[in-house]
Amino acid sequence: MSQSAKDVYVVSAGVSKFAKARPDKTFQAIVKEAVDYTVKDVGLEYPKFLELVDGSVASYFSDHFTRQLMAGIMAQDYLSLCPKPSHRVEGGGATGGICFQEAYKNIASGDMDICLAYGFETMSHVETWKGNEFIALASDINFDYPVGGFYSGYYAMMVVRHMMEFGTTVEQMAHVSVKNHNNAFHNSYAQKRQRLTIKDVRNSPMVAWPLTRLDICVMSDGAAACLLTSEEGLNKLEKASGKKYPRVKVRAIGRGTDAMRMSDRPHQSFEDFYKYNAMANEQDGDSKKYYKELWAKHFKYPGIHSFRAGRMASKMAYENGGIKDPLKEINFVELHDAYTSSEIQTYEDMGLCKYGEGGSFAASGKTFVPGVEYGLKLESQPVCPVNPSGGLIACGHPVGATGLMQAAFALWQLQGAIGKHFGDATLQLNNPKIGAIHSHAGTGTYVTVSLMERI
């Protein structure tokens, strides 16, 4: 990140409640719901907002689902934002996270003072298995898709390798599903509000061994929006609304990539891992000894069990944001749990625990929310709640909106406004200062990590 980057604030956000299908409205009108909410929460009338906003970034993943090219401009004009500058971003499941970061850059570069990030996906226009086909087209169509393209299958192969390397169990994975679903029970925005047990997760139909239906997120229709500003932009909004907003800043951003084909992922040596991938909190003698022992057992990194892009994104964000010990310094994380297994893998990428400890960490209780009833015996108190909102697994995953939904939920946590927006304050954490949002595309190809901070 450039030293000359300007401070960037997140002022408000909005989410259209995610649903299996929204035939009542077209995508533009669903986006408008999320934007109307965002503008209302700033305390402005819509015409005043239009006068002040400098431009936007649009986020949606698939042209196939909409069967409409240039959907971004159709949202832009429905929002009455023409002729202000805008562009569409696309990066698979990470599209929303990328959108947030591009809006950040518009402000940090001094190009805009007030920028609206909005995103959507309407996945109900085809039935589920056709939808899975569209998503699987986000895999190499020469070598991967025709073999039996199915994203749940790809993630299943990744976690099978994780189980082989580290002894991760399906019960540990089920803990993630129970945690996230039971959190979502208190989130009025969630698509699935169910109290589940480990048994429910394991007894639900097998989709791709060992992942069951309750290890996997669902498809949704929905939209989300987020308003980012510079210091000047914030002052302009406050002057116009007569309100004073809680100060929530974007502390740092990071982004990483990896090869589309899982088969192409490298298998690096211990030396290369320490040269390119190890984090600040893994430089001590104990950590080096721990990893040395892993490699002594023919371990390689990242292989298909870990997301090197997620590690890169986290490492960059932490280095730019001065985070040395993420588990202690970050108060909560909203991460991309399209699969319970990928939440476990992401704990490790984000340095909340070491590579190999994700399974036991998931079942330890450290990532659970204080005061929520899970019906589980957990050995540790919560330290850093992960997906306090319920995550993708319970809230839904309308791809282009997802990363912005995470930004909205993280903002409300940092503002202390969960009760106001969810209509239930159970999930409000006690005075959180720093939150991380993590957005992830197909098998870990693009990953973004953004740190938000209340000041």
| Secondary structure letter of residue 240 according to DSSP | H
Token pair in block for residue 119: 């995103």
Residue choice 2, 83, 129, 286 for contact with another protein (CB under 8 A): 129
Token pair in block for residue 237: 């909004």
**What is the C-alpha to C-alpha distance for residues 357 and 285, in angstroms, rounded to an integer?**
18
> 102 or 144: whose CB is closer to another protein?
144
Longest Cα–Cα distance in the chain = 64
Q: How far is the CB of 74 from another protein (least distance, A)?
A: 17
Site string for another protein, 42-81 (x = CB under 8 A): -------------------------x--------------
> Does the protein bind another protein through residue 414 (CB under 8 A)?
no
> Does the protein bind another protein through residue 160 (CB under 8 A)?
yes
Q: How far is the CB of 148 from another protein (least distance, A)?
A: 5
Cβ of 209: how many Cβ atoms within 10 Å?
Answer: 12
> 110 or 167: whose CB is closer to another protein?
167
Instruction: Please report, as residue ranges, which positions from 165 to 224 form the binding site for another protein (by CB under 8 A).
Output: 200, 203-211
Residue choice 70, 82, 164, 455 for contact with another protein (CB under 8 A): 164
Residue choice 24, 271, 286, 379 for contact with another protein (CB under 8 A): 24
> 44 or 136: whose CB is closer to another protein?
136
| Secondary structure letter of residue 91 according to DSSP | B
> Does the protein bind another protein through residue 23 (CB under 8 A)?
yes
The number of residues that bind another protein (CB under 8 A) is 48
Cβ of 67: how many Cβ atoms within 10 Å?
Answer: 10
> 164 or 455: whose CB is closer to another protein?
164
448 and 354 in contact (C-beta within 8 Å)? no
Q: What's the order of all strands across the beta sheet hosting 332-334?
A: 86-89, 55-59, 114-122, 221-229, 9-15, 248-257, 446-454, 434-440, 332-334
Q: How far is the CB of 95 from another protein (least distance, A)?
A: 20
> Does the protein bind another protein through residue 285 (CB under 8 A)?
no
Q: SS3 letters for 212-238?
A: EHHHECCCCEEEEEEEEECHHHHHHHH
End-to-end distance of the chain based on CA atoms, in angstroms?
Answer: 20
Q: Which stretch binds another protein (CB under 8 A): 18-26, 43-51, 311-319, 394-402?
A: 18-26
The three-class DSSP label of residue 452 is strand
> Does the protein bind another protein through residue 259 (CB under 8 A)?
yes
Q: What is the helix (H) or strand (E) element at residue 97, kind and residue range?
A: helix 95-108
Token pair in block for residue 164: 């082989």
Residue ranges in contact with another protein by CB under 8 A: 23-25, 67, 127, 129-130, 132-133, 135-136, 141-144, 146-150, 152-153, 156-158, 160-161, 163-164, 200, 203-211, 259, 261-267, 304
